[in-house]
Structure 1
Amino acid sequence: MASADLLLHPVRARILKTLFGSDPLTTAQLRERLPDIPPATMYRHVAVLAEAGVLEVVEEKRVRGTVERSYRVRQDQAVVDPEAREAMSLEDHRRAFTAFSASLMADFERYLSSDGAKPAEDGVAYRQGAVWLTPEEYAELIEELTAVVVARTGNEPTPDRVRHVVSLVVVPDAAAEA
């Protein structure tokens, strides 16, 4: 499993989001989908993710004298493990959440700036809810939410399917307890 710094770097987070739920992609295909990332930067960050075991090479082929690799995300490695989260300082968590939030806001801005963005028609949703849970109920909720998303990650792309990115933030609300 990876560190928050590895996964939440703005460029690496975009690479991972692009690969989540997609067929394996080459670095050239990633560059086509993320044209604002300079080629050298793209290659460097793909190499970092591959070296860390977050990306795996699923195919290699010779193209004009070089080796072209196709990558996919190793879902089991693309998470910050509980021990690493436990070892993070409050400042580490603050930086990680800021990076996550900035990435989420950048994704939303790219969507809104795209041709034909229609949030209501496209089913864009952002909302919060509050629930009172014991530690056991909380663990069960996280398992259920994870299962709901994971159950759909194997869906193949089809003409009638639109790719959606699901983000989850869960924060205790200590103010409500006072």
Structure 2
Amino acid sequence: MATADLLLHPVRLRVVQALLGDRAMTTGDLHAELPDVPVATLYRQVGVLADAGVLEVAAERRVRGSTERTYRLVTAAASVGPEEAAGMTPEEHRRAFGTFVAALLADFDRWADGGAAVPGGLDAARDGVGYRMTGLWLDDDEFTALVADLRRVLGDRLANEPGGERRRRLLGTVFLPG
């Protein structure tokens, strides 16, 4: 199965996104984070991702006569490469983008729905939630420099490990010509 086909399944994409940030989770942990996904579906899709090498087993332990596996994302295997993207049809790109947006909306809904349980309700500033679109006038060289700058800034932070006051934060990017 091609990487794009593998990742464009909505449940598999959500599993991949749940494991971003060097998280290690059992299928039970994943179900707690994705409670709307039936358990059987979750197990099946985790198995597909593991068989494809997108997930690796980080640990195993015996629980009541069965083996509980903890999975970790293999980041290099969890993205569509430039060569594959270049070979995608316009319809495949639409499907990929639609799946990305649907997963982004699901993450946003989880935040919005969780706000009801927090004293004071939703607070985008407190939670660091923001969304906006900006238009920039850039030639190709300036755009390439911008992307390189973003990779450097983000790369410095990708090595951060969980702990202390750190919270896992999701960052989605979309670049489109205007």
Question: Retained in 1: the 8 A contact 2:22–2:73?
Answer: no
Shift in CA distance, 100/23, structure 1 to aligned 2, threshold 3 Å: closer
Q: Give the structure 2 partner of residue 132 of structure 1.
A: 137
Query: Which gives a bigger RCO, structure 1 or 2 (Cα 8 Å, sep 6+)?
Result: 1
Shift in CA distance, 165/96, structure 1 to aligned 2, threshold 3 Å: same
1:123-162 to 2 correspondence within 5 Å? 123-162=128-167
Question: Equivalents in 1 of 2:156, 2:10: separation in Å?
Answer: 27
Question: Equivalents in 2 of 1:8, 1:159: separation in Å?
Answer: 34
Question: Retained in 2: the 8 A contact 1:58–1:70?
Answer: yes
Question: Retained in 2: the 8 A contact 1:21–1:154?
Answer: no
Deviations 1:34-78 (A, max 9, x none): 222111111111111111111111222222222221111111111
Question: Equivalents in 2 of 1:54, 1:150: separation in Å?
Answer: 21
Q: Give the structure 2 partner of residue 53 of structure 1.
A: 53
More displaced stretch, 41-50 vs 27-36: 27-36
Question: Equivalents in 1 of 2:5, 2:155: separation in Å?
Answer: 24
Question: Retained in 2: the 8 A contact 1:49–1:55?
Answer: yes
Question: Equivalents in 2 of 1:27, 1:67: separation in Å?
Answer: 11
Question: Retained in 1: the 8 A contact 2:57–2:69?
Answer: yes
Shift in CA distance, 74/147, structure 1 to aligned 2, threshold 3 Å: farther
- Structure 1: gaps spanning 5 or more residues: 174-178
TM-score by length of 1: 0.87
Question: Equivalents in 2 of 1:41, 1:132: separation in Å?
Answer: 45
TM-score by length of 2: 0.87
Q: Secondary structure of the residue that 1:61 maps to in structure 2?
A: strand
Following TM superposition, the consecutive aligned residue runs of length 4 or more in structure 1 with deviations greater than 4 angstroms are: none
Q: Give the structure 1 partner of residue 169 of structure 2.
A: 164
- Structure 2: gaps spanning 5 or more residues: none
Report how far residue 112 of structure 1 moved: 0.8
Question: Equivalents in 2 of 1:109, 1:35: separation in Å?
Answer: 13
Q: Give the structure 2 partner of residue 8 of structure 1.
A: 8
Q: Give the structure 2 partner of residue 79 of structure 1.
A: 79
Q: Give the structure 1 partner of residue 28 of structure 2.
A: 28
For the aligned residue pairs, the C-alpha RMSD in angstroms reads: 1.8
Q: Give the structure 2 partner of residue 113 of structure 1.
A: 113
Question: Equivalents in 2 of 1:168, 1:30: separation in Å?
Answer: 24
Amino acid aligned to 1:152: R
